[in-house]
Structure 1
Amino acid sequence: MSQRSGYRKLELLHDASLWQQHCQARPSLSIYLSDKDKHADAALSRYRDYLGHEFEQVFIDCSDGLHADAIAALCGTVTASGLLSILLPVEDNPMSQRMTRCAAKFYRDNANNSSATMLIETAASARTRYLTDDQQTILQILDETAQDTTTEPTTHIITAERGRGKSTLLGRALAKAKEQRSIIVTAPRKANAKVLLQQAPQARFVAWDKLLEQPDNPDTQLIIDEAAGLPLWATEKLCQKFTPWLLATTVAGYEGCGRGFAVHFTDWARSTLPEVHIHQLTQPLRWPVNDPLEQWLAKTFLLDERAVTVSSNCVTGTFIQHASELEESLLQQCFQLLLNAHYQSSPNDLNLLLTEPAHKLAYRCERGKVIAVAWLMSEGPVNSPLKQEIKLGRRRPKGNLLPQAIGYFLQQDWAMDLCWLRVARIAVSTDKRRRGTGSQLLTDILQWAKNHHYQMLGTSFAWSPQLDQFWQKNSYFPWRFSSRIDSVSARSAAIYVCSCIPSTNSRYQQFNAWGELQLQWLSKGKEALNLTEELADIRADIIKAYCAKIVPFDAAHFALAQWFYWQHNDHPLTAILCRPDIKLKQLGQYWGGLSKQQANENLCKEVDSLR
């Protein structure tokens, strides 16, 4: 572990040849990530493998496109006096401009080379090998609660920005524990717990997905490092299976926003667990206080949680703009709302908002303060040559989520001819919730969409009764439910649609009815199969695609259940298919233990013979 002191340096390069010179001269304790250089240590997508490591120099090749999550994550692996070097995209864009502009605030140029922004190193306090005051205070609290056997078990949640010594603290606490054998450590990846395990070499590490398979054991205490890197549902389930003792996470997100985790998990923990204590580490351990690289990162990617000055130029009302057009105060307020409200938010979201022309922010202001924000995406029409390929399941180009999903899963190619506006995310400030603020924002978005000639609005989200009530109240109605479970929320994904054209449109009304029937079927099963014949065309399109091996069983299950219920009610398969929870594995048992693939083949043949 490096014991050097001093501020960390930043290098932003546009010159590929200069970049190569620097990479070739890099020290042994360094890492180089690139998607196109075969001499790199790893691809950019593998950045998570290096969390928990420490490097004197980190080189990130972003010449093909900025990877904000990798930059935010690997910035925390750079030790004191170290260097973060980034090769910027060839074509300038608002995000790379922001990176350079923010660097100028925290660094002075040490050369006449305009292609690089670097720090002239200044004196700083030496990095300590000892525990910080924050760490010592929390360790003392842990000792006191551990010795108090008269109270319920206490869960300690520790949050901090990068480099504050969370893992070191967990390791020290574990090393001091009297019954280490009854304590299990887990993390998103074992590499995330590297520092913890160095502090407590006798610790028992078990992968989190393996822990979920183990039987409940309240006698086992649990430590989770980098908890925000786990799906929220998995963290909650682990805390119910075992006795959670220590959970630590980074609040400046790079893999799902730790701040969102802190908000959502803390609320759940306080309402579910017997005793919860929240702790925060503020003093940096890996680099000096006021480190310019840390300040640059927080400013560039809007990760600073401190209160934002309200905008004096913003009057009360709703506004829809591209993020690159917003003044800094408004942009930071909007992004903070999104970070705090959505568990999966990350620095790369800001990159998308600033660089993608099809993305906009709708925000509602009240006396200069942003009280609600929605992330909007323009989708469709889809290029004609692609439409048939998408409908047949042969192509799934990036983007255009709503028209592609409806065109493929519901086999409605007309949806790919329309102009859609998708509400990707919506967030309301805590003090304005349940006051109609979100609904007012959606009303204003609908009017703006009509004025700008959009034909449909829609949204896709992890379904819950509360969200269903909110969206339907605002005239967004269900069209499709996926049987696949969202990895973060453990809930089914749903698509809800709102029409910009007159509500008397018969096709729109049919799909509203179709989605509502599926919603009822998912909750009530067979008794909810109350088909009206005017929906038979939708059903027939999906079943035809299923028999042609275009859509999978999961996508056709509801249509098949309807068809068997109404057309072949006495068929032995009807009772099975009418169950929403049935899978191909159970169908295989119906045919005497066939594989899922064979069961699918048999069902296709059976449907073909009955059509």
Structure 2
Amino acid sequence: MSEWQAWRQQLQLNGERRLLVLAGSQTWAMAQARQLGNDSHARQLWLGQADAAGQSGLPINKFQTALGQEYDSLVFNAHSGLHPDALGAAAGTLIAGGIMLLLCPPLADWPDYPDPDLVRYVAQPEQAKGLASPFLRRFVRLLHQDDSVLIWQQGSPFPALPTLSPLPWQQERDRQGCLNIQQRNALAHMLRCARARIPLVLTADRGRGKSSLLGLAAHRLIQYGLRVLLTAPNQNAPAQAMRHCASPLHFVAPDALLAEQPAADILLIDEAAAIPVPMLLALAKRYCCIFASTEHGYEGTGLGFQLKFQPRLACLSPGWRKLHLNTPARWSPADPLEPLVFRLLALNASPPAPALSPSANPIPTQVERLDYRWVSREALLADDALLQQLFGLLTLAHYQTRPSDLRQLLDAPDLQLAVTFQADIPVAVALLIKEGPMSAELSQGIWRGQRRPRGHLLPQSLAFHGGITDACQFTYHRVMRIVVHPHAQQLGIGSRLLRWLQLHLCEQSGGDFIGTSFGASPQLVAFWQSNGFQAVRLGQSRDGVSGLHAMMMLWPCSVAAKQVLPLWQGQFSANLQAYRKGVWPDELTPVYQTLKLEPPALTEQQDNRIARDFAFYHRDLCSDQPALSRFVATQVPLRPLSAHQQQLLKALLTPGVMPAQIASLHGLSGHKAVIAQARQLLQHFFVVPSES
């Protein structure tokens, strides 16, 4: 232990951090972690199950509560599941001299270990049983290949501690409180923008001092006499900003800012990517903001901050500025832990640019000679360069990408990857997942709102929200993402890839539909319609990241699918027609005008079933309002309704009216009371069912 402590001190002087893998039983690994981290003065973060000796462990899925903090050591108990987002984010909280203790099963056995995190990548928990993890196979291989990683296997002696460079890491704050020239320049730029009321976005990987700069800037701005407010996704996130501000700095939660609208000259927003994009835009309209965040997708909105928010901020404030910090502040530039984590999670994945460009007027034969093929996870494991290229391509254009998506790509059993190549360079990629069919019992539970299994987005949503009775009986190949490299866009390559899928997918894999769900914009709706996809559902609420309403579209493969799709479209058209008579969001009008719709087609039997199962089970009021309105207009209640009940029922079934509005107008306690009233009123039309 004396040698270990001396080595740790030298590590701190060098400004470096290390990973120590404790591979063995969980009991053994916990005991070693407790002994190695036995320092009462050290700040330690323990993620995952802790031992029974008084050690407090933070659940791995709560890792975001640790963002913005600094720790001397990190214990990551991978026996509780290797959550890639948690690993990447937590590593960034370690300061110079810090040790990450990774507790895991024996390395040779780890890929076959029943990892609790695998449950996130399957539809039913039982599917994870016996499932091997290619992601962990790659992970273990990279650990063995990195000389900076210390590996201690149970039953083996403690690993030899490597000799460290005697050169110390120099880190001193200047008069402004900055640690390096890049921070000093950034602080000056932040102050200029704040005084000129120009919005600014400050981005960096973790450990670059973004939060510290917010605190330093806040102090200077307050000294200038400006009113400064600070916000973040939670009160713990901006701890570093508060610590580095020598003046009183007032924190206000984002929702409170929008509700109360306190006066401020400058609003500082820390961990901005963990705040929904629509909320960020609302704050940007109300205040002059300085946004600070990472762009690697650890936070709640993934890459939405970069791909969705920043372009809309440019429209809102064309003169906005952006700064990026790359010099580490928490550790030395020679630190080996950060590049290791980046390799493990493919955080620097970047696709090569193809030799195609719409501005270069490519020869048609260049596009004609593109190669289309399936890429298996075995191929990805065998060729890490290809994996990096494809994951980089997926990351490049989609706002929901996170490090966990790398694990999903390698471990999800129902995932398929179709790639368009120009020579050996990926030009476009489509990521698909198989959904449905489900058993009759599960289908009925989903329809009635009693069951909500993981995954199966299309059949579940079409059944429960879309009111399509038999949606869960079909098989879907859902296109989760389709991405074309920016240098090859506007050449029809995405459409060509879809046509290849339509030609090969259903023949090879079977199934009834190819489907998609996306944030509806006129451009995207037009793209999918031009490729033969037809709309069957439009969400009533906006996505928290994109700010768009979800659109679901289908392309039929099987004979049965071709028969039912026109009926589903007719039902969708009828419901959409009803919604447009109620409260209709202005932003949906361009989408509606782009849609090619079948004529409304209604069946009294379908409306009756929706009304009955809404009355006695747990179907959704907002989704069922059109069908319930049609039902009530044509049916006579078995038990009479009073004038007040009739008035309340009419209000409840007005398309687009939200339960909160009904509660306020009719003196009900809240959302649950409104839904309960709606069910009771609909029960007047039916005989109470005998089954539970």
Which category of TM-score, normalised to the shorter sequence, fits these structures? 0.7 to 0.9
The equivalent position to 2:45 in structure 1, one of 11, 31, 34, is 31
Matched with 2:491 is 435
CA distance in 2, matches of 1:561, 1:13: 62
1:10 aligned residue: 19
1:33 maps to a residue whose letter is: L
**Counterpart residue type for residue 236 of structure 1:** L
Do 1:6 and 1:121's aligned partners in 2 also have CA atoms closer than 8 Å? no
For residues 390 and 230 of structure 1, the distance between their equivalents in structure 2, rounded to whole angstroms, comes to 31
1:351 CA displacement: 0.9
The answer on 1:379 being equivalent to 2:435 is yes
Residue 581 of structure 1 corresponds to 656
Letter aligned with residue 140 of structure 1: A
| 1:550 equivalent in structure 2 | 618
Residues 533, 554 of structure 2: 8 Å contact kept: yes
TM-superposed CA distance for 1:100, in Å, is 2.2
Q: Which of 185, 189, 197 is 1:141 aligned to?
A: 189
Asked if the contact 1:6/1:288 (under 8 Å) is kept, the reply is yes
Q: Using a 3 Å threshold, how does the CA distance of structure 1 residues 364 and 306 change in structure 2: closer, same or farther?
A: closer
Is 1:225 matched with 2:275? no
Letter in 2 for 1:45: N
Percent pairwise identity: 27
Q: Within 2, Cα distance between the matches of 1:253 and 1:402?
A: 25
**RMSD value, Cα:** 3.4
Distance 1:574 1:228, change over 3 A: same
1:214-264 CA distances to partner (integer Å, 9 max, x unpaired)?
2385x53111111111111111110001112x2111122212466552233
Q: More displaced, 464-473 or 20-29?
A: 464-473
The match for 2:376 is: 322
**Aligned residue number for residue 159 of structure 1:** 203
Supply the AA of the counterpart residue of 2:188. Q
Residues 1:267 and 2:267 aligned together:
no
8 A Cα contact 2:571 2:600, kept in partner: no
Q: Does 1:458 align with 2:515?
A: yes
Cα distance change of structure 1 residues 224 and 585 upon mapping to structure 2, 3 Å threshold: closer
Amino acid in the other structure paired with 2:283? L
1:545-588 residue CA offsets vs partner (Å, 9 max, x unmatched): 111223121231121234346669x9867874664320224444
Equivalent of 2:72 in 24, 48, 56: 56
- Matches of 1:119 and 1:515, distance apart in 2: 66
2:215 paired residue among 153, 166, 171 = 171
Give yes or no for the alignment of 1:359 onto 2:405.
no
**SS of 1:421 mapped into structure 2:** strand
* Equivalent position amino acid for 2:229 in 1: I
State whether residues 160 and 250 of structure 1, in contact with CA within 8 Å, keep that contact through their aligned partners in structure 2: yes
Partner AA of 1:74 in structure 2? A
Correspondence 1:483 to 2:499: no
Asked whether the 8 Å contact 1:485–1:492 carries over to 2, the reply is yes
Supply the AA of the counterpart residue of 2:30.
Answer: Q
Cα pair distance change 1:581/1:125, threshold 3 Å:
farther
- Mark the CA change 1:473 to 1:516 in structure 2 (over 3 Å): closer, same or farther: farther
Q: Is 1:129 aligned with 2:172?
A: yes
Q: Which runs of 5+ in 2 are unaligned?
A: 1-8, 112-132, 174-178, 356-368, 585-591, 637-642, 687-692
Aligned partners of 1:580 and 1:491: how far apart in 2?
A: 19
- Partner Cα distance (2:217, 2:583) in 1: 53
8 Å Cα contact 1:380/1:417 also seen in 2 = yes
Q: Does the 8 Å CA contact 1:310/1:368 hold for their aligned counterparts?
A: no
SS at 1:435 equivalent? coil
The yes-or-no answer on 1:19 pairing with 2:29 is yes
> Shift of residue 531 of structure 1?
8.0
* AA in 2 matched with 1:467: L
The aligned counterpart of 1:416 is 472
Q: Give secondary structure in 2 for the equivalent of 1:192.
A: coil
- Aligned-partner Cα distance in 2 for 1:558–1:35: 48
How many Å apart are 1:206 and its aligned residue?
0.8
Native 8 Å contact 1:51 1:73 kept in 2: yes
Aligned-partner Cα distance in 2 for 1:52–1:336? 27
Identify which range, 359-368 or 187-196, moves more after superposition: 359-368
TM superposition shift of 1:86: 1.9
Give, in angstroms, the shift of residue 375 of structure 1: 2.0
Structure 1 CA distance for aligned equivalents of residues 446 and 372 of structure 2: 36
CA distance in 1, matches of 2:671, 2:180: 56
Quote the Cα distance in structure 1 between the aligned partners of 2:110 and 2:77.
14
Partner of 2:503: 447
Q: Does 1:285 align with 2:360?
A: no
Query: Within 2, Cα distance between the matches of 1:195 and 1:522?
Result: 48
Letter in 2 for 1:282: N
Match of 1:87 among 94, 103, 108: 103
What per-residue deviation string (whole Å, max 9, x for no partner) do you get for residues 37-84 of structure 1?
554422112211111212221111122432011101100011222211
SS in structure 2 opposite 1:154? coil
Matches within 5 A, 1:299-314: 299-304=343-348, 308=352
What TM-score, normalized to structure 1?
0.88
Match of 1:68 among 79, 84, 98: 84
Q: Which runs of 5+ in 1 are unaligned?
A: none
Structure 1, residues 168-217: CA drift from partner, whole Å, max 9, x if none?
12221221113465111111122221111111142111111211212385
Distance 2:372 2:49 in 1: 41
Once residues 664 and 67 of structure 2 are traced to their aligned partners in structure 1, the CA distance between those partners, rounded to angstroms, is 44
Q: How far did residue 365 of structure 1 move? A: 2.1
TM-score between the two structures when normalised by the length of structure 2: 0.78
1:256 and 1:346 in contact (8 A); partners too: no
Please give the alpha-carbon distance, in whole angstroms, between the structure 2 residues aligned to 1:555 and 1:36.
Answer: 44
Partner SS, residue 346 of structure 2: coil
Choose 154-163 or 435-444, whichever is displaced more: 435-444
1:346, distance to aligned residue in structure 2 (A): 0.8
- Contact residue 390 and residue 408 of structure 1 kept, 8 A: yes
Between the two proteins, the alignment pairs up a number of residues equal to: 600
- Residues in 2 aligned to 1:524 and 1:341: alpha-carbon distance in whole angstroms: 36
Is the 8 Å Cα contact of residues 565 and 574 (structure 1) preserved in structure 2? no
Cα deviation, residue 471, structure 1 = 2.7
1:120 lines up with 2:162 in the alignment: yes
Structure 2 CA distance for partners of 1:296 and 1:185, relative to 1, 3 Å: same
Give SS of 1:279's match.
strand
2:349/2:389 contact within 8 Å kept: no
When residues 249 and 533 of structure 1 are mapped into structure 2, their CA distance, relative to the original with a 3 A threshold, is closer
Q: 1:169 to 1:216 in 2, by over 3 A?
A: closer
The answer for the alignment partner of 1:106 in structure 2 is 146
> 1:499-547: CA deviations, max 9, x gaps?
1124883321111222233344444549999985544343333222111
- The question of whether the paired residues in 2 share the 8 Å contact of 1:376 and 1:424 is answered with yes
Q: Distance in 2 between matches of 1:159 and 1:518?
A: 44
What does residue 557 of structure 2 align with? 500
Amino acid at match of 2:622: D
Opposite residue 604 of structure 1, the aligned amino acid is R
Q: Secondary structure at the match of 1:556?
A: helix
Distance 1:512 1:524 in 2: 19
For 1:43, the equivalent position in structure 2 comes to 59
The answer to whether the 8 A contact 2:47-2:77 is kept is yes
Q: Is the 8 A contact 1:6 1:81 kept in 2?
A: yes
Give the equivalent residue in structure 2 for 1:398: 454
